[in-house]
Amino acid sequence: MWNQACSQSPAGTTSHKAVISKRAFLQILPCTVSQLLSASEVGSDSSFVICDSELNQVSVVGIIRGCAPFVTNIQYSVDDMTGPPLQVKQWVNLKDCAPMTRVPPGSYVKVIGSLRSFRGQRMLLAMDIRSIKDLNEITSHMLEVVEAHMKLCGKAYDVNMNLTASSSSGRVSGNNEEHEGLLPNGFSIVQNQVFNVVRKFSVQFEGISLNDLKSQLEDISMRNIRRALTFLIDEGHVFTTVDEQHYKSTAL
């Protein structure tokens, strides 16, 4: 279907390099919408680069905000809350008599495709759009994004592509509570309390906000909560979600 669909697309939107550079990623690279919108565009053929590596196929996970069916394609607006919604275009196979199933707005989906630029607007040319039934896939995708870009760029990022403290200035030591009186899991008492609350609220899509976390831990100062969060993020136990003030645990 993909080869048939490509033949029906407008000129200039489905061009592919005959030879992909050595630095191109041949596998599917997990990304967020913000990363795709901020990727560097190089050359005259609308190639996109992240950390000096050319993008080939990418995957994003988000919620459909809008859907517009046309004769030859279906256009979606996909939002993962890391930036403005991304336009996703899926070509229709005109030789198939059966109509293409549309995914309704409000559905969580995983999209695999190639990033393109058409008339100055970036869009994802979808090879596959799959509805997500298990919300754990959202968390899994976020962790894959962090791991992939850490390997790609050689630095530790959160899901919003912000450098973590360990990458920019080394381990933030905070105070002696990070090294003294550790529990069997390697956490201090404060770190363990913060981690358990974050983990409890990780079933929610956006996780728990910093303010809600403070209300759950009234006896711990905001300063110590922030220090504990810095440690947990650096160690890979917690990550930020919709912004830098919402957190989820990597262990559900």
Task: Read off the pLDDT of residues 197-217 as tens digits, 9 standing for 90 and up.
Answer: 998 888 888 899 999 999 999
| Cα gap 110→98, rounded to integer Å | 23
Are 2-136 and 164-249 equal in CATH topology?
no
SS3 string, the chain, reads CHHHHHCCCCCCCCCCCCCCCCCCCCCEEECCHHHHHHCEEECCCCEEEECCEECCEEEEEEEEEEEEECCCEEEEEEECCCCCCEEEEEECCCCCCCCCCCCCCCCEEEEEEEEEEECCEEEEEEEEEEECCCCHHHHHHHHHHHHHHHHHHCCCECCCCCECHHHHHCCCCCCHHHCCCCCCCCCCHHHHHHHHHHHHCCCCCCCEEHHHHHHHCCCCCHHHHHHHHHHHHHCCCEEECCCCCEEEECCC
- For the entire predicted model, the pTM comes to 0.54
CATH of domain 164-249: 1.10.10.10
Mean pLDDT computed over every residue of the chain: 77
pLDDT digits (tens, 9 = 90+) for 124-160: 999 999 999 888 898 899 888 888 877 777 655 554 4
Residue given tokens 């899509």 in the structure block: 205
Q: What is the pLDDT of residue 180?
A: 44
Tell me how crowded residue 147 is: count the other CB atoms within 10 A of its CB.
14
| Cα gap 118→11, rounded to integer Å | 10
What number of CA atoms fall less than 13 Å from residue 230's CA on the CB side? 19
The tokens of 2 are what? 């993909």
Q: What is the pLDDT of residue 166?
A: 44
What is the assigned CATH class of domain 2-136? mainly beta
Q: What is the pLDDT of residue 155?
A: 57
pLDDT digits (tens, 9 = 90+) for 110-124: 999 999 988 778 999
Closest by CA to 31, choosing from 64, 62, 58, is 58
Residue 48 binned pLDDT confidence (cut-offs 50, 70, 90) = confident
- As a dihedral over the C-alpha atoms of residue 165, residue 85, residue 77, residue 53, rounded to 10 degrees, the angle is -50
Domain boundaries defined on the chain: 2-136, 164-249
Has residue 11 got a pLDDT over 60? no
Closest by CA to 61, choosing from 24, 100, 95, 32, is 32
More confident residue, 25 or 62: 62
Decide if 127 contacts 57 (C-beta within 8 A): yes
Closest by CA to 194, choosing from 182, 210, 180, 205, is 210
